[in-house]
Structure 1
């Protein structure tokens, strides 16, 4: 898909701030520093639309990016950041849960994990949470350029096993450096945006 038009419409913290144009939405979740902003920038072919940060926990709002005036990417605050207070973490958790549980326009979730490591307890909890609410999930294993290509399939198998990946969900190995995996992510997106949208 060619992305001609990208707009950060709003950074929201509560449902009354969400966009009301009824376009389909795809959320992106993952722990801090897993590469959500880099994934968004690679998919929309913009270098700095989504702000990347070397400081985990920088995204503290739900960022709604409208693409081609047809659908949204919703960048969800990263989890697992140690330097954020418990109170702030609880607030983020509540904000994220409210969005994922209640948002009618949400058509699916891209859940990012680091290909180099086994899923964290937070990764496992997030996947179980998404499945509890019956949301379609694409697991994107990021930072693939940091692992030799010969080990990709082995890592994919290990990650699927650790997550107990549902048969209806897919896993894509992705590198924001090379763009490997981007086409597969777009295929999944187009299937879920068209089936989910009006």
Structure 2
């Protein structure tokens, strides 16, 4: 049993197409997938999330929660809806996006694969509080993974098609896995044991 958690203000701002996303019971959710936006700020991440990419459903790609550098938490998709954030894992997972520039703007350039922006303490503290709250509200939630753990696809580099780069590298090498896992009772889903 987790102790009472401190108040965590969450700014609820549903995406325009949220109601068109598939519904699901909370009991179906057993996994959190950690992402970084790979964009310069929350406003641009919101614009990307609002883009309709799937014409048949009128929906796009987005996480459920976004945590900004200042520690503010924004919910764009309800946990009871399936957000499009990790191929093969969406029906069972909650996607959390941390605002971080990652490889922006040359995501797939072979010469630009370094992800050197640190995650500020306020952002990580807010993430831990969010994960603790999600764990309390969703007893079936047991696992956590990075997007890079679950999508290991390689694609041609945008600056040199003879080279391959990882399609997804988030949350990246600066994400403090040890700190997060010590604070939250979730088990890291390792690639060799992950299921589609």
| TM-score range for the pair, normalised by the shorter chain length | 0.3 to 0.5
Q: TM-score, normalised by structure 2?
A: 0.40
Q: TM-score, normalised by structure 1?
A: 0.39
